[in-house]
Amino acid sequence: MTQKPLAADLCNKIFFQCIHDYHTKDSVDAEMVNPYKLDEEFIENLLYHKNWIDTVQWHLEDIIRDPEIDPVEGIKIKRRIDRSNQMRNDTVEKIDEWLLKAFEKLLIKKTSNAKMNSESPAWIIDRLSILCLKIYHMEVEIERTDASPEHRVSCARKLDLLSQQLADLTNCFNELMEEIIQGDKFMKVYRQMKMYNDPSMNPTLYKNAPK
């Protein structure tokens, strides 16, 4: 059997590692120290970077929901979240680009009935990253000593469901990798084209731009 370019188990392992690393400092302003070497032949550095973006944004989303937040500070954080979303999208596209090159190196031939998956591999990886974050934080809720027993029991049930979702999505990703390798499916890299972030396409930005 031809070797897969990437397995979901590796993604999950790196995501949980990154989440743990972030929480050693637990600050949205902490500097990312990527333990994986930047090398175009390997994807670990990119996966760690992807989850770091998601983890910081997770906590920014918590902060901005503080009902007592200063409005000026809230606007700053909202704009930071917007920038984070763009980085998240850009990184997903880089992962898809890496995978596409990896498949090209394998000289895969599409079958006559090959179909394209509605979701690219990297967007499945994006969902895996978020699920790992949900699992980590649900475990935190279960262990809270200041929470009611009912809250902890409810969170334990939710954790079971999240764990099953992660297992199912892990299988789906691995199956997609296998189907692409067999030539039964193929992938493309599509740009998200976030128009609201483009000064030439957002009406509010280009109407107020200096002439």
Q: What is the pLDDT of residues 80-136, one digit of tens each?
A: 999 999 999 999 999 999 999 999 999 988 999 999 999 999 999 999 999 999 999
Q: Considering the domain boundaries, does residue 3 fall inside one?
A: no
151-175 CB burial, b ≥16 within 10 A, e <16:
eeeebeeebeebeeebeebbebbbe
- pLDDT tens per residue across span 9-30: 999 999 999 999 999 999 999 9
Rounded to 10 deg, the angle between the 8-23 and 121-142 helix axes is 50
- Beta strands 115-116 and 185-186, pairing class: parallel
Q: Considering the domain boundaries, does residue 32 fall inside one?
A: yes
Q: Which residue range(s) make up the domain with 85?
A: 8-195
- Please give the pLDDT value at position 1: 43
Q: Considering the domain boundaries, does residue 208 fall inside one?
A: no
- pLDDT tens per residue across span 193-204: 667 777 777 887
- pLDDT tens per residue across span 154-184: 999 999 999 999 999 999 999 999 999 999 9
Q: Considering the domain boundaries, does residue 66 fall inside one?
A: yes
Confidence class for position 5, pLDDT limits 50, 70, 90: confident
Residue 62's alpha-carbon distances to 12, 22, 57, 69, 74, in angstroms, are 23, 15, 9, 11, 11
Query: What's the total number of domains in the chain?
Result: 1
Q: Considering the domain boundaries, does residue 209 fall inside one?
A: no
Q: Considering the domain boundaries, does residue 211 fall inside one?
A: no
Kindly state the average pLDDT of the residues 137-166: 97
Q: Considering the domain boundaries, does residue 205 fall inside one?
A: no
Q: Considering the domain boundaries, does residue 2 fall inside one?
A: no
Separation of CA 8 from chain center: 13
- Please give the pLDDT value at position 202: 81
pTM attached to this predicted model: 0.91
